[in-house]
Amino acid sequence: MARFYVDISSSNSRPQDPTTLFNDMVSRIRGILKPYQIDFELCDWWSSYRIKQQLATRFSDPKCCVFLVGDAIHTHSPKAGQGMNASIQDAWNLGWKLATCIKGRGYPALLTSYETERRPVAQRLLSFDKKMLGCFRSFCKEESNGVEKEKDLEETIKEEHSSASGIEVVYRGLGFESILEAPEAAPCIRLGYRIGDFNVIRHADGYVHSLHHILPANGKWRAIVFPGDITQKEPKRRLRHVGSALSQDDPDELPFLPNSLTMGVIAQCEAILIHASSRDEVKPLDLPVVFRHGANLWDGIMIECLRMILVLLILTYTFRYMRSWVSLRLRAV
């Protein structure tokens, strides 16, 4: 079975009868495929639709009591194949925020970040769809140069590959933008982006995990601490300070976090340590207690497979279809 999408745009806005429309569609297909010929015995199904690229003016009411997601806020053509993907991400972004607020683990203003985060994604989606639609329409012109149009389509897909695949959505709606004072100190961690996956070694038994594997979608906030080589005096001192601060849930002990985030978040936070020292040089019992949790009490202490000497704190909420990440620069004390 073969499927064809054909642009039948016309200056005549009056609707055509089905027979005329079908014949026009077949004629356009044959014209596009010249000098090759196409014929068929049966057309199992066909339909026509008008493409509307629209974006809602608001994603929720001012009091954040009613929310819109998916096709209710953005409509576009099916050319890019992003309709369901974007809708699922809308629902997931809103869902964990609702759950967090209902359970008292987050502040109500968190709900306003739904539109702040998802509107740029929808705008980028519509822009991508317009480019894709333009490429496909150019293919439908009988006099078009197929080689050049293929290059245009390839470049369009390459340009938006990361966002179309769903792994490079940027979220900056939680108020973290001003916290990272020296982004050049952590070039591999980008503020508001999904953190990359890499292998880590569990300190207790040497078992290798992927970072994403140890971050299940169970509704928890997580503080991931990268202290570097903790056999060194200064990284070790900073680690103790961070461990103590995370244990106390004291806003005064966490000056690198906005006040709005300390409202119950740190108390519900699961701390994970990923250091760059040798297992033989560091005893697990010498590390802060806040990192001891999980089924065997050691799931929160990991070793980097690649050494890092940066001291970073990454506060994040993980979820299955997409993980949004916020990276923070740990202030020296």
> Residues 270-286: pLDDT tens digits?
888 989 888 888 888 88
Identify the pLDDT of residue 77.
Answer: 82
Domain ranges of the chain: 51-164, 183-329
Q: Residue 90 pLDDT more than 90?
A: yes
197 versus 157: the higher-pLDDT residue is 197
Q: Residue 325 pLDDT more than 80?
A: no
Burial 202-215 (b: 16+ CB within 10 A, else e): bbbeeeeeebeebb
Q: Residue 250 pLDDT more than 80?
A: no
Fold of 51-164: FAD/NAD(P)-binding domain (3.50.50)
78 versus 147: the higher-pLDDT residue is 78
Fold of 183-329: Glutaredoxin (3.40.30)
Model confidence at 147, pLDDT cuts 50, 70, 90, reads low
Model confidence at 49, pLDDT cuts 50, 70, 90, reads confident
Q: What is the mean pLDDT of residues 107-111?
A: 79
Model confidence at 228, pLDDT cuts 50, 70, 90, reads confident
Q: Rounded distance, CA 125 to CA 83, Å?
A: 9
Identify the pLDDT of residue 181.
Answer: 56
What are the distances in angstroms from CA 27 to CA 16, 30, 46, 193, 217? 15, 5, 14, 47, 51
